């Protein structure tokens, strides 16, 4: 049944927000920017206090998180994107450590209230359904649990399939906006990133089901897969890098056990080519994050190959992908979800890929993690580690064996120092391990 829509202004719509409310924003390219601006204007006018904002990674200005809004809005994000990273580091915002797969549970299990969900959707079809487009993730759960749902109807939001459809009867207030979605364009990988990409690609088998994020290293990996066959995609997000492989037939999902022939994601970010690609495309399923990132669902597909990143790894295999020292970096995200899922997939491979050094030339393979560093992936979860200098598998290896393997793919200028640190930590037996590993 079609549900009649009455549009209102952003200023009128956000009047439903009360002091102390918890507000969810849809993610990445789908942030309802006109509602954010109207809500922030109410805060500037002194009409609101202590409003809690929740979201995953978002693009665009986070006007509610600037220092001047302290005491008016409190950002407690589930993932710290670049637009709120500095403000979080300065202590004007915070984040909630949570596996990406469980962000939806925070609402569905009543751990966090959702008083108002502010979302952006496609234009309604003739049956009265709109699509969440590029941002299903935890937004679907927020819509289900919110006291009030405000939707910006935008003709630029793609009509994606999967779990993205909601009926207009589930929406309380409608606002119209035709601003194009924010795009993200990624630079071509440099020589170092291409070397990492080649080392990762060498581990990817025909028929593998891929998970990888966005950025230079994922794009470098994807660029090396042109001769592969029957790859699938089950991931939390993807960007433009997959499109050439879909167009050439390399990605076809033929070897997947669940969602066979389909690409599965929960949110995405890229150029308009990606948004156009998923529009009315039944070959792409935008699913609830409780599905895409559930390790036990992930593991049902064979040869799941998950490629994630790290800030540091210590000689025992502990991976920091969250924070260094007391500085918040991004949040837990979906790394553990997919490492756990891939490691339990038949023929699966869990990979963490990173440059061996930072932009300042400091080794990212270290004797011990920086004080206060956030351990995202434990030494018990870690499997493959890849740098530009090679790939090693730590699974089933002792702590001393791990140290030797990691040193072998560290920056050559750092290896002697790392070797001394390993000797101090593990004692004379370290030299036996060194010869046993053939290093």
Tell me which DSSP letter residue 64 carries: G
E strand or H helix at 228, and its extent? none
What confidence tens digit (pLDDT) does each residue in 5-29 have?
899 999 999 999 999 999 999 999 9
Give the per-residue pLDDT at 429: 57
Task: Show the low-confidence residues of the chain (pLDDT under 70).
Answer: 1-3, 323-329, 428-439
Which is it for the CA torsion 68, 21, 287, 381, positive or negative? positive
The 10s digit of each residue's pLDDT in 214-264 is 778 888 999 999 999 999 999 999 999 999 999 999 999 999 999 999 999
Task: Give yes or no for a contact between 28 and 267, defined as CB atoms under 8 angstroms apart.
Answer: yes
In order of start, what are the domains of the chain with their CATH numbers?
A: 10-176 (3.40.1080.10), 191-436 (3.40.1080.20)
Question: DSSP code of 78?
Answer: S
Which is catalytic among the residues 236, 247, 388, 417? Answer: 236
- Record the tokens describing residue 235, joined without a space: 């991931």
User: Parallel, antiparallel, or unpaired for β 129-131 and 165-167?
Assistant: antiparallel
Q: Give just the sign of the alpha carbon dihedral 226, 231, 235, 237.
A: positive
Q: Are strands 22-25 and 232-234 parallel, antiparallel or unpaired?
A: unpaired
Q: What is residue 425's predicted lDDT score, i.e. its pLDDT?
A: 87
- Residue 401 is among the residues annotated as catalytic for this protein: no
What pLDDT does 192 receive?
95
pTM for the model: 0.94
Q: For residue 438, give every residue at least 6 positions away whose Cβ sits within 8 Å of its Cβ, in sequence order, or none.
A: none
Question: What is the pLDDT at residue 439?
Answer: 55
């Amino acid at each position: 049944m079609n549900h009649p829509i009455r549009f209102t202004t952003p200023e009128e719509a956000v009047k439903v927000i009360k002091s102390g409310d918890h507000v969810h924003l849809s993610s990445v390219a789908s942030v309802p920017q006109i509602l954010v601006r109207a809500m922030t204007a109410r805060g500037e006018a002194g009409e609101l206090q202590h409003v809690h904002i929740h979201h995953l990674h978002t693009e665009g200005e986070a006007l509610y998180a600037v220092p001047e809004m302290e005491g008016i809005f409190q950002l407690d994000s589930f993932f710290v994107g670049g637009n709120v990273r500095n403000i979080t580091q300065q202590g004007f915002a915070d984040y909630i450590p949570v596996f990406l797969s469980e962000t939806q549970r925070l609402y569905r299990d009543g751990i966090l209230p959702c008083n108002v969900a502010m979302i952006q959707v496609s234009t309604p079809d003739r049956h009265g359904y709109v699509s969440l487009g590029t941002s299903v993730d935890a937004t679907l759960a927020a819509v289900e649990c919110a006291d009030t749902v405000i939707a910006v109807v935008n003709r630029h939001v793609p009509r994606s399939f999967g779990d993205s459809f909601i009926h207009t009867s589930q929406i309380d207030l409608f606002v119209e906006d035709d601003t194009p979605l924010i795009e993200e364009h990624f630079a071509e990988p440099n020589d170092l990133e291409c070397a990492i990409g080649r080392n990762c690609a060498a581990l990817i088998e025909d028929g593998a089901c891929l998970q990888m994020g966005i950025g230079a290293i994922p794009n470098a990996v994807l660029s090396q897969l042109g001769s592969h066959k029957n790859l699938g995609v089950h991931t939390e997000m993807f960007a433009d890098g997959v499109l050439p492989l879909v167009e050439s037939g390399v990605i076809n999902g033929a070897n997947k056990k669940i969602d066979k022939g389909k690409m599965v994601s929960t949110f995405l970010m890229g150029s308009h080519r990606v948004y156009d690609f998923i529009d009315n495309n039944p070959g792409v399923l935008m699913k609830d994050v409780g599905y895409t990132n559930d390790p036990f669902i992930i593991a049902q597909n064979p040869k799941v190959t998950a490629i994630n990143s790290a800030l540091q790894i210590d000689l025992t295999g502990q991976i920091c992908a969250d924070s260094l020292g007391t500085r918040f970096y991004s949040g837990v995200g979906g790394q553990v979800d997919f490492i756990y899922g891939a490691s339990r997939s038949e023929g699966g491979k869990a990979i963490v890929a990173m440059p061996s050094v930072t932009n300042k030339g400091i080794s990212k393979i270290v004797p011990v993690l920086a004080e206060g560093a956030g351990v995202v992936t434990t030494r018990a979860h870690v499997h493959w580690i890849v740098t530009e200098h090679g790939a090693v598998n730590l699974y089933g290896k002792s702590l001393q064996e791990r140290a030797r393997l990691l040193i072998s793919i560290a920056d050559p200028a750092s290896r002697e120092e790392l070797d001394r640190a390993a000797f101090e930590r593990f004692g004379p037996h370290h030299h036996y391990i060194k010869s046993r590993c053939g290093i």
